């Protein structure tokens, strides 16, 4: 088989989406990517396709790809995200080792251009059903360090209402709050494992400017000076609904400022959000959570009615 190797381009969104569908058919991760979803990822401000991606083709057929994505900050390590996918028909061909080898060479090169004075770690993530990928990472020096749960909640029944704090004002999302939301999100998740601050451009691309973002199902609690004290930001992927037949709301972010934690604010605002989602015709809600979260986010979500349905694991390799 003749192999053609080249960087990905934004024009490769359709074959990448097709490759992801082929992988999903044999190892369900419960994520379904449309061409538009993939194009959004390939054009993100922090994605460097020219020198941060590679792909292998047989003629016009995409067999696999890998991406190394630098972070926007080192805190204190540079935790570079790596991603790899290979068609199920070619996982015994040695291409996986070649793609990992490319990541191990390219990661340090990108790191030298971004945060050369920081330590480098390569961070990959594998769903519990992606056993081939987990084996590939472990065989190349990656260690499993963290567990992330996907939680789901059936919206067939009315959620139990919970009172919102009277001193905070409930509002729906509006564009004029973007910078205040970004500030609150960065503040809330500062110090969380694997998280880095959103730049204005990246926040707009991945959060409120994403086609999947649902402003009508995203809510804020504002303080007396208009600052964002708590937030729930939501998304909906048509590609998931088309594949499953279920309208499922993705709760992308839930956050409360540190000085307000412990008062049930996140529980109340999330309950309000899923109640509205039910009224809007959503049949299920889902979210993801770091199971080692220091603020017991897992318990907050369980109190609302979410249950763990599956898991993904973070794999990390320090690079000297």
Summary mean pLDDT of the chain: 95
pLDDT at 123: 98
Using pLDDT thresholds of 50, 70 and 90, give the confidence band for residue 294. Answer: low
**Domain ranges across the chain:** 4-141, 151-312
> Considering the domain 151-312, what is its CATH architecture?
3-Layer(aba) Sandwich (3.40)
Paired tokens of 81: 């995200």
Say if residue 220's pLDDT is above 70: yes
User: What's the confidence (pLDDT) of residue 194?
Assistant: 79
Average pLDDT over residues 52-75: 96
Question: How high is the pLDDT of residue 292?
Answer: 85
Q: How confident is the model at residue 145 (pLDDT cuts 50, 70, 90)?
A: very high
Sheet holding 307-319, edge to edge: 4-6, 53-58, 61-69, 78-86, 120-127, 307-319, 143-154, 284-290, 248-256, 228-235, 219-222, 169-172
Domain 4-141 matches domain 151-312 at the CATH topology level: yes
Question: What pLDDT does 196 receive?
Answer: 85
> 112: buried, middle or exposed (CB in 10 Å: 19+, 13-18, 0-12)?
exposed
293 pLDDT more than 80: no
Answer for the pair 106, 52: CB distance below 8 angstroms, yes or no: yes
Query: What pLDDT shows up at residue 68?
Result: 98
Nearest residue to 35 via CA among 62, 70, 71: 62
pLDDT at 65 over 90: yes
Mean pLDDT of all residues in 18-34: 96
State yes or no: pLDDT of 283 exceeds 90: yes
- The CATH number of 4-141 is 3.40.630.30
């Amino acid at each position: 088989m003749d192999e053609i190797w080249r960087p990905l381009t934004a024009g490769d969104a359709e074959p990448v989406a097709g490759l992801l569908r082929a992988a999903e058919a044999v190892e369900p991760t419960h994520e379904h990517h449309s061409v538009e979803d993939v194009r959004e990822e390939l054009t993100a401000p922090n994605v460097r396709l020219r020198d941060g991606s590679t792909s292998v083709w047989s003629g016009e057929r995409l067999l696999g790809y890998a991406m190394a994505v630098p972070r926007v900050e080192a805190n204190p390590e540079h935790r570079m995200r790596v991603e790899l996918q290979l068609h199920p028909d070619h996982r015994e061909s040695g291409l996986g080792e070649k793609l990992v080898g490319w990541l191990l060479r390219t990661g340090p090169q990108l790191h030298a251009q971004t945060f050369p004075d920081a330590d480098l770690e390569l961070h990959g993530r594998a769903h519990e059903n992606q056993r081939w990928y987990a084996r590939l990472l472990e065989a190349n020096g990656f260690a499993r360090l963290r567990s992330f749960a996907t939680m789901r909640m059936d919206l067939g029944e009315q959620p139990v209402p919970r009172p919102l704090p009277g001193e905070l004002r409930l509002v729906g999302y509006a564009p004029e709050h973007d910078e205040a939301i970004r500030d609150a999100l960065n503040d809330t998740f500062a110090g969380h494992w694997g998280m880095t601050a959103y730049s204005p451009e990246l926040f707009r691309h991945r959060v409120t400017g994403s086609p999947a973002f649902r402003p009508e199902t995203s809510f804020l609690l504002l303080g007396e000076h208009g600052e964002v004290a708590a937030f729930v930001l939501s998304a909906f992927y048509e590609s998931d609904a088309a594949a499953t037949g279920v309208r499922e709301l993705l709760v992308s972010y839930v956050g409360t400022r540190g000085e307000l934690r412990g008062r049930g604010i996140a529980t109340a605002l999330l309950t309000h959000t899923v109640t509205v989602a039910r009224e809007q015709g959503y049949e299920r809600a889902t979210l993801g959570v770091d199971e080692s979260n220091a603020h017991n986010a897992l318990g907050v979500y369980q109190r609302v009615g979410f249950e763990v349905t599956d898991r993904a694991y973070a794999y990390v390799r320090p690079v000297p």
